[in-house]
């Protein structure tokens, strides 16, 4: 059954691709949160100075 073998061989690659995608999305969200925090800190600093 060559088709079955091809599916079995492709499964690890698909899982690896999904894992990389999820990892990339998580990294993106963390970076966005850090940027927001930096912006919030800047605003807080401005308010504190005033």
1-28 pLDDT tens trace: 688 898 999 999 999 999 999 999 999 9
Q: pTM of whole model > 0.95?
A: no
- Please tell me the distance from the alpha carbon of residue 32 to that of residue 24, in angstroms, as a whole number: 12
Take residue 41 and report the two structure tokens written for it: 């800190």
Report pLDDT digits (tens) over 29-40.
988 887 777 777
- Per DSSP, the chain holds a count of helices (H) and strands (E) of 1, 0
Helix, strand, coil abundance in the chain, percent, nearest 5:
95, 0, 5
- Report pLDDT for 26: 93
The model's confidence at residue 49, banded by pLDDT at 50, 70 and 90, is low
């Amino acid at each position: 059954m060559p088709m079955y073998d091809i599916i079995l061989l492709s499964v690890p690659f698909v899982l690896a691709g999904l894992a990389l995608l999820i990892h990339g999305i998580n990294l993106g969200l963390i970076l966005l949160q850090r940027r927001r925090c930096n912006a919030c800190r800047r605003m807080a600093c401005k308010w504190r100075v005033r």
